Amino acid sequence: MRRSFIRCFLCLILIFSCTVVWALPDYYTLWVPVDVEAQDPAAAYRPIASDDRYEPFEDLTWDHPLRIAVSSDPHFGRAESNAEATKSIIRSVNETEPAFHAFFVLGDITEFGFVDAHWLAAREAFAEFSRVPVVPLMGNHDDLMNGRSKFLRYLIPDATSETARQTLWQRIDIGPVHFFKLNLLWGVEDWGPDVEAWLEEELASIPREDWVVVLSHCFFYSSGQYILGVPWFDHPETTTLIAPILERHRIDLSIAGHNHHMELATHHGVFYTVVGAFGGVLSQTPFDHVSETSLWYRADTFGYADLTFYPDQVLLVFRDPEGVALKRFILPQNLAP
């Protein structure tokens, strides 16, 4: 009886701790110091997302395109996650020819961001990438109970307290293709005037003929379910506060995770992609809500998005874990007025 009481009491403390973390004011977790005394547990992992800019890429041509892979939500550490699907995706991305220039992982890398063993499992898996550099973003599960410091320590080992913010909100230029990492976890908890001003200024500086791709964990437009009474589709905050900025600056493509399926949608000239199929438990179908913006979705298989950028169009291929094409799209640049 006494042991049962102690277990219940500890569970209540854990629930209260998580609630306190989620209820903290905006920006609290933007400036998390890195534990510099932590030992590097897996030197084989090779990140490339720690600098403000990447090395220049040659101008895009039809003979020399830029190729990236994207997936999200492997949830390392969760027993129900499909580890074999995750391994197959890693193998496919690493061995594909012509080679990918980068693999973006859009968050929920771990099930519980405060558990070191989950980060160690992620690092061990990412160490399998011998040819393709990995660019990690953080998700809401990664951020649990100050998991942000562990995300930086394990996956961005040269990050410091001074560069943490630039790592989470980051512009990456690869020639005429410009990627923006937005630290959107559950939604807009970390969004505010400072990052809005930064994003507006950076987007305004990009030549009209270049490509602009926004990366985040939380989605904008998506089909989905009600989860515990909360609508997990067409996110009301990101679509209200941030999507109008992206559409006003005529970005080309948004890619996100958070929902565990693959989907392509379009709204006011922008293509919105969801690719949360890196091994976490897949979304339940039929959906409670199919977005009016949706062009295509697939929720019965894991996989990743394969994007090849050419001067005036991008070839988007949704692939299963073995690399087999599920659906192909040719997306034009955003020419909305």
Is the pLDDT at 44 greater than 60, yes or no? Answer: no
Q: Find out whether the peptide bond into 311 is cis, omega within 30 degrees of 0.
A: no
Write down the pTM of the prediction: 0.85
Q: Which of 216, 215, 305, 308 is nearest to 262 (CA)?
A: 305
Is the pLDDT at 84 greater than 50, yes or no? Answer: yes
Position 336 confidence tier, pLDDT thresholds 50, 70, 90: confident
In the numeric block, which tokens belong to residue 18?
């998580």
Q: Span 157-181, mean pLDDT?
A: 84
Q: Which of 1-5, 60-64, 270-274 has the lowest mean pLDDT?
A: 1-5
- Give me the pLDDT at residue 58, please: 66
| The one-letter amino acid at 104 | F
- Give me the pLDDT at residue 175, please: 87
- Give me the pLDDT at residue 165, please: 76
- Give me the pLDDT at residue 19, please: 33
Residue 271 main-chain phi, psi, to 5 deg:
-90, 125
Q: Which of 326, 329, 314 is nearest to 177 (CA)?
A: 314
Q: Span 11-35, mean pLDDT?
A: 32
- Looking at mean pLDDT, say which of 6-15, 156-165, 228-237, 301-310 comes out highest: 301-310
| pLDDT tens per residue across span 237-263 | 999 999 999 999 999 999 999 999 999
Give the mean pLDDT of the chain.
85
Topology of domain 51-332, per CATH? Purple Acid Phosphatase; chain A, domain 2 (3.60.21)
Q: Which of 80, 147, 91, 94 is nearest to 119 (CA)?
A: 147
Is the pLDDT at 333 greater than 90, yes or no? Answer: yes
Q: Span 172-182, mean pLDDT?
A: 93
- Give me the pLDDT at residue 27, please: 25
Is the pLDDT at 321 greater than 50, yes or no? Answer: yes
Is the pLDDT at 279 greater than 50, yes or no? Answer: yes
284 against 109, higher pLDDT:
109
In the numeric block, which tokens belong to residue 106?
């859009």
What percentage of the chain reaches a pLDDT higher than 90? 70
Q: Residue ranges per domain, the chain?
A: 51-332
Is the pLDDT at 60 greater than 70, yes or no? Answer: yes
Position 29 confidence tier, pLDDT thresholds 50, 70, 90: very low
- CA–CA gap between residue 217 and residue 202 (Å, rounded): 20
Is the pLDDT at 64 greater than 80, yes or no? Answer: yes
Position 164 confidence tier, pLDDT thresholds 50, 70, 90: confident
Q: What is the dihedral of CA 287, 293, 298, 302, to 10 degrees?
A: -100
- Give me the pLDDT at residue 167, please: 85
List of E strands, the chain? 66-71, 102-106, 134-137, 170-174, 177-182, 211-216, 225-227, 230-232, 253-256, 262-267, 270-275, 294-298, 304-309, 313-319, 325-332
- Give me the pLDDT at residue 260, please: 98
- CA–CA gap between residue 323 and residue 334 (Å, rounded): 28
Is the pLDDT at 194 greater than 80, yes or no? Answer: yes
To the nearest 10 degrees (0 to 180), the angle between helices 147-155 and 116-126 is 30
- CA–CA gap between residue 51 and residue 49 (Å, rounded): 6
Q: Span 265-286, mean pLDDT?
A: 96
Is the pLDDT at 206 greater than 90, yes or no? Answer: yes
Position 230 confidence tier, pLDDT thresholds 50, 70, 90: confident
Position 32 confidence tier, pLDDT thresholds 50, 70, 90: very low
